[in-house]
Amino acid sequence: MLSTLRIAAMSAAIVAVAATSTTAFAQKKYDTGATDTEIKIGNIMPYSGPASAYGVIGKTEEAFFKMINDQGGINGRKVNFVTYDDAYSPPKAVEQVRKLVESDEVLLVFNPLGTPSNTAIQKYLNSKKIPQLFVATGATKWNDPKNFPWTMGWQPSYQSEAHIYAKWLLKEKPDAKVAILYQNDDFGKDYLKGTKDGFGAKASNIIMEESYEVSEPSIDGHIVKIKAANPDVLLIYTTPKFGAQTIKKTAELGWKPLQIITNVSISVGSVMQPAGFENAQNVLSAAYAKDGSDPQWANDAGMKKWNAFLDKYMPGVDKTDNGVVYGYGAAQTLAKVLEMCGDDLTRANVMKQAASLKDFAPDTLLPGVKINTSATDFAPIAQLQMQRFKGQKWELFGEIISGDVPTQ
């Protein structure tokens, strides 16, 4: 008798347990890489090799998630940020991403850097249906949800930024002769294309396209050559070092064209100051993020948080480095997406949430610049504002411009 009772009680208990666990199962959904206590995120960065200057982005993101974990994690789960070195080499990128996916079993790959590396891993990640989220490159091709529904960009695309410069010039200086100095790689060529597209029928305004190689120690010879063509406007599509060289050399030549410099090279501390503040007066550019070395943000609430984070988690870091601002903003965006995922940490839901960001404003973005995505818009940041260098800081002017370029 007793035994029957016991069995009945036990089976009732089992049913109860089973019932609760199924309800729990309905609420909590996980793919590989996520559990009740942990979310595993993969990342690749060039910590060594020619692009090692960008390694600081990965270090900032690692530190950011350490801060998140110290604050209790995301919905109670700790973030396990696994980051590997790809040395800016596509074959190495493939090897490391496969290691992240197949050996570390991450939920998603976040902010991998560089157009070549991302192109190399895009097909693999999409075929495995693993999010390739917020890639750290400004190529236009990341906004292509139809063909690559698992890949999403983050920063404004290079082409859309160049578009903005072209439109601005057409409006303000319709007859100016324009020369373009660009780096001979995917980055420079994207800007070149965006500028030409932006000028459209007036592309004849562009009287010179001069490219340089990263391996050149000094680009003085190119500047001399451009000056000989005597353009009114010089578009500088270069990385920071060459941007500073260009601004300095034009001043040394006693030449005063209207200069517009790419957003990549607008750091006050590591471009404008080395080039010489007196040489950089009236240089134009467009921005979407605040500059860590620009005094005008000293009392900004978002940048105060950023500063506090750096002081605690990355003491001694070079705050003039744009990579630190960049990594913080990108990591904050991911944290937001994971928070929105709630307990449904499947890869499909991560992409769904990433594509449902509405007016999200990370601490480091300019006032008014907001992140918006949808199922057909995989370009999170699409807004920029023009700015002019005055004294020792950038002065924003004009409206916030949206520069979405549709993917062909």
Which residues in this chain contact other proteins in the complex, by CB under 8 A? 47-50, 52-53, 55-56, 58-59, 83-85, 87-92, 94-95, 98-99, 101-103, 114-116, 119-120, 122-124, 184-186, 189, 210-211, 213-218, 220-222, 224-225, 228, 240-241, 244-245, 252-254, 267, 269-271, 273-274, 276, 317-318, 320-321
In whole angstroms, give the CA distance from residue 127 to residue 324.
32
CB 92, min distance to other proteins, A: 8
- Nearer residue to other proteins within complex by CB, 56 or 133: 56
Strand duo 78-85 + 38-45: pairing: parallel
CB 380, min distance to other proteins, A: 22
CB 22, min distance to other proteins, A: 32
In whole angstroms, give the CA distance from residue 273 to residue 202.
35
Contact 290, 302 (CB under 8 A): yes
CB 43, min distance to other proteins, A: 11
CB 153, min distance to other proteins, A: 15
- Nearer residue to other proteins within complex by CB, 51 or 330: 51
CB 356, min distance to other proteins, A: 29
- Nearer residue to other proteins within complex by CB, 99 or 167: 99
Listed in sequence order, the residues at least 6 apart from 158 whose beta carbon sits closer than 8 Å to its beta carbon are 138, 139, 140, 187, 190, 191, 194, 262
- Nearer residue to other proteins within complex by CB, 79 or 93: 93
CB 273, min distance to other proteins, A: 7
CB 29, min distance to other proteins, A: 25
In whole angstroms, give the CA distance from residue 128 to residue 106.
12
Pick the closest to residue 117 from 137, 89, 138, 95 (CA basis).
Answer: 89
- Nearer residue to other proteins within complex by CB, 73 or 90: 90
**What type of residue sits at position 260?**
I
- Nearer residue to other proteins within complex by CB, 130 or 386: 130
**What type of residue sits at position 67?**
M
Pick the closest to residue 221 from 205, 241, 245 (CA basis).
Answer: 245
The Cα-based distances of 69 to 24, 201, 305 in angstroms read: 24, 53, 16
- Nearer residue to other proteins within complex by CB, 211 or 307: 211
The Cα-based distances of 197 to 141, 155, 190, 401 in angstroms read: 16, 20, 11, 17
Strand order across the 178-183 sheet: 206-212, 178-183, 233-237, 258-261, 284-287, 383-390, 393-402
In whole angstroms, give the CA distance from residue 306 to residue 291.
11
* Radius of gyration of the chain measured on its C-alpha atoms: 24
CB 278, min distance to other proteins, A: 12
Strand duo 132-133 + 258-261: pairing: unpaired
Q: How far apart are the first and last CA of the chain?
A: 77
- Nearer residue to other proteins within complex by CB, 85 or 294: 85
- Nearer residue to other proteins within complex by CB, 269 or 342: 269
